[in-house]
């Protein structure tokens, strides 16, 4: 578990000091960055095919993780240049997340069938898909602007606006709760009958909740602001956590982890939209790298707490409820 936590944060250790600034300054803009990253992912997967039984597979897998996070950061930084106005940010981010989930589910079936034939066939399929994606990225609008090397005064001011800081803290809390629940439920269910099957069901339901959240977030945005979306996400997670802590049981725990992931997605879309709108002068790739690094550290730290303490199921659920309730109150009080 400790090795898994270390590996999950390792790509951010590379992205934070190096990749972020490069994304914002690469000649040709972020469109070119997306093309190069996807092409490199295809090449990396091809190299992995012939190294399935070699130790060199592991550094290649690490490179693939770094490229994956680089693409995610570039995509988030690119969204504001592709929408007509700021009101469409949540909808655009949500559609991208939903599309990724749908394609992931769709690709899982042929990937699973190819895995039965030969694991290398699955990698070959991935290489083809990354190549097609890299070619498709050339249809993105040209963006040749290169961000300055120095941090402008406007950028520093915008990223320290109260709404940005409060949204960032709320997002860290949501990510921490999700990380805690992932390991808390995993260790709690291992001593239960059919624990592995229950945990797999919890992960599947969480994936469905994430896709649903991506789909309905644009509708929620029409009814309320991003600030309100963050508050509602924390409040619903808090209420569910407290109720689950009182009720206890496997079913309630699975429902909680699914709702937490769904609310975390709504909170993420709101947070990204807030930063994209409130910090137009910021080097967005660099800014999102910093935010993602902090969030991942919190996810790992919260997961480590669950691994070390191994609390009873209901106790862990109640902790989630209390933590989110505290965050909701803080966000409401300090945002006024």
pLDDT digit string, tens, across residues 70-94:
787 777 767 766 767 666 677 777 7
Specify the pLDDT at position 22.
Answer: 63
Quickly list H helices, the chain. 2-14, 20-25, 29-49, 57-78, 89-117, 119-136, 153-159, 162-189, 195-223, 226-247, 250-278, 284-309, 313-334
Tokens read off for 54 = 């070699």
Give the residue from 313, 190, 155 showing the smallest Cα distance to 247.
313
Handedness of CA 154, 155, 156, 159 (dihedral sign): positive
Give residue 184's Cα distance to chain centre: 19
On whether the CB atoms of residues 177 and 288 are closer than 8 A, the answer is: no
Give the residue from 301, 306, 331 showing the smallest Cα distance to 317.
306
* Residues, the chain: 336
- Domains annotated for the chain, with CATH where assigned, are 2-139 (no CATH), 153-334 (1.20.1250.20)
**First-to-last C-alpha distance (Å) of the chain:** 41
Q: Which residues of the chain have pLDDT under 70?
A: 1-30, 77, 80-81, 83, 85-88, 105, 107-108, 115, 142-156, 158, 192-195, 280-286, 335-336
Specify the pLDDT at position 145.
Answer: 46
d(CA 39, CA 130): 7
Tokens read off for 147 = 């961000």
Specify the pLDDT at position 272.
Answer: 84
Specify the pLDDT at position 144.
Answer: 43
Angle 88-101-138 from CA coordinates, rounded to 5°: 65
């Amino acid at each position: 578990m400790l090795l898994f936590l270390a590996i999950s944060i390792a790509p951010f250790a590379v992205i934070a000091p190096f990749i972020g600034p490069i994304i914002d300054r690469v000649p040709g803009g972020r469109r070119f960055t997306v093309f190069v990253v996807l092409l490199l992912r295809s090449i990396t997967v091809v190299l992995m095919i012939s190294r399935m039984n070699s130790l060199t597979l592991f550094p290649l897998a690490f490179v693939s993780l770094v490229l994956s996070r680089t693409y995610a950061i570039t995509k988030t930084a690119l969204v504001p240049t592709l929408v007509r106005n700021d009101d469409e940010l949540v909808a655009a981010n949500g559609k991208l997340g939903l599309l990724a989930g749908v394609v992931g589910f769709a690709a899982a079936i042929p990937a699973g069938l190819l895995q039965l034939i030969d694991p290398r066939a699955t990698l070959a399929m991935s290489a083809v898909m990354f190549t097609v994606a890299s070619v498709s990225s050339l249809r993105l609008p040209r963006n040749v602007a290169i961000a300055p090397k120095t941090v402008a005064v406007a950028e520093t001011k915008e990223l320290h606006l109260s709404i940005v800081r409060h949204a960032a803290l709320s997002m860290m809390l949501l990510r921490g709760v999700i990380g805690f629940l992932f390991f808390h439920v995993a260790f709690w269910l291992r001593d239960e009958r059919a624990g592995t099957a229950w945990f797999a069901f919890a992960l599947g339901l969480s994936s469905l909740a994430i896709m649903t959240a991506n789909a309905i977030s644009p509708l929620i945005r029409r009814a309320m602001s991003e600030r309100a979306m963050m508050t509602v996400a924390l409040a619903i997670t808090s209420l569910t956590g407290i109720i689950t802590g009182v009720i206890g049981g496997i079913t309630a725990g699975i429902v909680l982890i699914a709702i937490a992931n769904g609310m975390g997605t709504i909170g993420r879309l709101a947070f990204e939209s807030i930063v994209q709108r409130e910090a137009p002068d910021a080097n967005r790739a660099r800014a999102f790298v910093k935010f993602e690094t902090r969030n991942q550290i919190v996810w790992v730290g919260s997961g480590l707490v669950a691994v070390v303490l191994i609390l009873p199921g209901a106790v862990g659920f109640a902790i989630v409820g209390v933590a989110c309730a505290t965050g909701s109150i803080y966000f409401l009080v300090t945002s006024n």
